[in-house]
Structure 1
Amino acid sequence: MASRRFFVGGNWKMNGNKESLLEVMNTLNTASLHEDTEVVCAAPSIYLDFARSGLDPRFGVAAQNCYKVEKGAFTGEISPAMIKDCGADWVVLGHSERRHVFGESDELIGQKVSHALLSDVCVVACVGETLEQREDGSTEEVVYAQTQVIAENVSDWGKVVLAYEPVWAIGTGRTATPEQAQSVHEKLRAWLRAHVSDDAADSVRIIYGGSVTAANCRELASQSDVDGFLVGGASLKPEFIDIINARA
């Protein structure tokens, strides 16, 4: 099996101002962190330059979204080219808030993934089911369908991190048990093996997102197919350091 470097993303969402985000960045810059963990912070688009200039180079910077074309009459959107121009190398696509609050379809998310990768921007691609879908037993059907559309648009799996984010566990305080997370991650890896390649299945990092905290991160990180986290609110708090060091 290929060695998969632990990956922790911090999704700042629509939070913070320059003063508060500078505090977050200073905390990260001065922290003692596990050197084998890759850390990427997803800043609001208006603060991408600020985040890239304020964070130590050991941290990556991501946008939280982008559009499917390089430029044009798309008011309010940003392109992968703009993300690169700000010095960032990552984008988060398909987050449940983009799907369920802003109505983004699987097709649109796939198009965004394709264009981001062709623009040399790495992608954290999110999949996950709602509580209703979990309770009616369709978790696998939902995440496989979402992953299928992403996979159809991936030109380089080396630039993709797959994030499993059960919608029912995001910002709710409810967290998938380590067993629940491992089960879905294991099935997603098996799906990659069956539908993409053995190499992709072995090398692609599948990370978990959904109310990850300092209290539960170590047990989650101990699961064999959990390769890291995508962290929301806790990424703005000092406990983010503990989450980054979950495997230290």
Structure 2
Amino acid sequence: MRRKLAAGNWKMNGIGANLAELESLATAHANAGVDILICPPATLLHRAAEVAKDTSIRIGGQDCHANASGAHTGDISAQMLADTGATAVIVGHSERREDHDERNEDARAKAKAAIDAGLTAVICLGESLAQREAANTLDIIAGQMSGSIPDLATGENVVIAYEPIWAIGTGKVPTLEQIGEVHDFIRARLERRFGEGVGRSVRLLYGGSVKPGNAADIFAVPNVDGALVGGASLTAADFSPIITALEQA
């Protein structure tokens, strides 16, 4: 059985004072029935890992460099993330792809670096509104999967997050049928590429305007093993009900 995962991406939000939200979340879910991952900005990683120590919460990074070290001013390697106490890292997020011109091969290299460093790579996939309206969604997802997921992927070291770009932070959410179609497609392609065992073990998250009010319906969709949540993960008051909905799914 795949253990469900509620992941929160704080993006470029949060200073030391916001770690109180992490403490509140840890208290509210001291005996969580699902995995909980919070990905704060790099400046908070070590402190967040200390706060989360001996709790049900794990800490992850939001990006990493593909190289282990070198002359890359401002970048952070996967090994450095692991050294802070992080156990996972998001790669290939649409905001990295759009804002920093990252390609599938960049996401793949970063995912491999994460795995080599002992981290779980949360690999993001998703189509734009134009691609959705042109009925190209599955072709886009297929290309992103082929280019972004390394050959050494397993259910232990990789999580896939489907985040339609047009739904991130917009309040727009695909229909449950649309979410199900993409998640079923991803599952089938994973099984075809990696075999049934690995293909069925990789957790698939949905991301894009997930809120307490729609979480239960989304989590009821087959092959949705959890969520990658943005804005609603910034406070315990908003994220806790999403975690509870996932526990009850």
Which consecutive residues of structure 2, in runs of 5 or more, have no partner in the other structure?
none
Counterpart in 1 of 2:80? 82
Counterpart in 2 of 1:149? 147
Between the aligned partners of 1:131 and 1:154, the Cα distance in structure 2 is 31
Identity of aligned residues (%): 38
Given candidates 177, 180, 185, the residue that maps to 2:178 is: 180
Counterpart in 2 of 1:39? 36
Q: Does 1:27 align with 2:18?
A: no
- Deviation of the 1:201 alpha carbon: 2.1
Q: Relative to 1, partners in 2 of residues 1:68 and 1:149: Cα closer, same or farther, differing over 3 Å?
A: same
Counterpart in 2 of 1:135? 133
Given candidates 190, 193, 198, the residue that maps to 1:192 is: 190
- Deviation of the 1:202 alpha carbon: 1.3
Q: Relative to 1, partners in 2 of residues 1:178 and 1:155: Cα closer, same or farther, differing over 3 Å?
A: closer
- In the TM superposition, 1:233-244 aligns within 5 A as 233-237=231-235, 238-244=237-243
Cα deviations by residue, 1:148-187 (Å, 9 ceiling, x for unpaired): 1233443444211100000000011111222211110001
Q: Secondary structure at the match of 1:14?
A: coil
Q: Which amino acid aligns with 1:182?
A: G
Contact 1:92 1:123 in 2 (8 A): yes
Between the aligned partners of 2:45 and 2:183, the Cα distance in structure 1 is 30
Q: Which amino acid aligns with 2:229?
A: V
Between the aligned partners of 2:153 and 2:2, the Cα distance in structure 1 is 19
Counterpart in 1 of 2:245? 246
Q: Relative to 1, partners in 2 of residues 1:163 and 1:112: Cα closer, same or farther, differing over 3 Å?
A: same
Given candidates 45, 49, 53, the residue that maps to 1:52 is: 49
Contact 1:69 1:79 in 2 (8 A): yes
82-91 vs 172-181, which deviates more?
Answer: 172-181
Contact 1:34 1:244 in 2 (8 A): no
Cα deviations by residue, 1:103-129 (Å, 9 ceiling, x for unpaired): 101111111111111111111100000
Between the aligned partners of 2:229 and 2:52, the Cα distance in structure 1 is 17
Over the aligned positions, Cα root-mean-square deviation in angstroms equals: 1.3
Between the aligned partners of 1:164 and 1:23, the Cα distance in structure 2 is 29
Contact 2:66 2:110 in 1 (8 A): yes
Runs of 4 or more off by more than 6 Å in structure 1? none
Q: Secondary structure at the match of 1:73?
A: coil
Q: Secondary structure at the match of 2:222?
A: coil
Between the aligned partners of 1:157 and 1:38, the Cα distance in structure 2 is 14
Counterpart in 1 of 2:167? 169
Q: Which amino acid aligns with 2:138?
A: E
TM-score of the two chains, using structure 2 as the length reference: 0.95
Between the aligned partners of 1:153 and 1:234, the Cα distance in structure 2 is 33
Contact 2:205 2:224 in 1 (8 A): yes
Q: Secondary structure at the match of 1:100?
A: helix
Given candidates 211, 214, 232, the residue that maps to 1:213 is: 211
Q: Which amino acid aligns with 1:230?
A: L
Given candidates 105, 108, 111, the residue that maps to 1:110 is: 108
Counterpart in 2 of 1:120? 118
Between the aligned partners of 1:77 and 1:151, the Cα distance in structure 2 is 22
Contact 1:33 1:241 in 2 (8 A): no
Q: Does 1:10 align with 2:25?
A: no
Contact 2:7 2:39 in 1 (8 A): yes
Q: Which amino acid aligns with 1:239?
A: D
Q: Relative to 1, partners in 2 of residues 1:143 and 1:33: Cα closer, same or farther, differing over 3 Å?
A: farther
Contact 2:159 2:203 in 1 (8 A): yes
Q: Which amino acid aligns with 1:235?
A: S
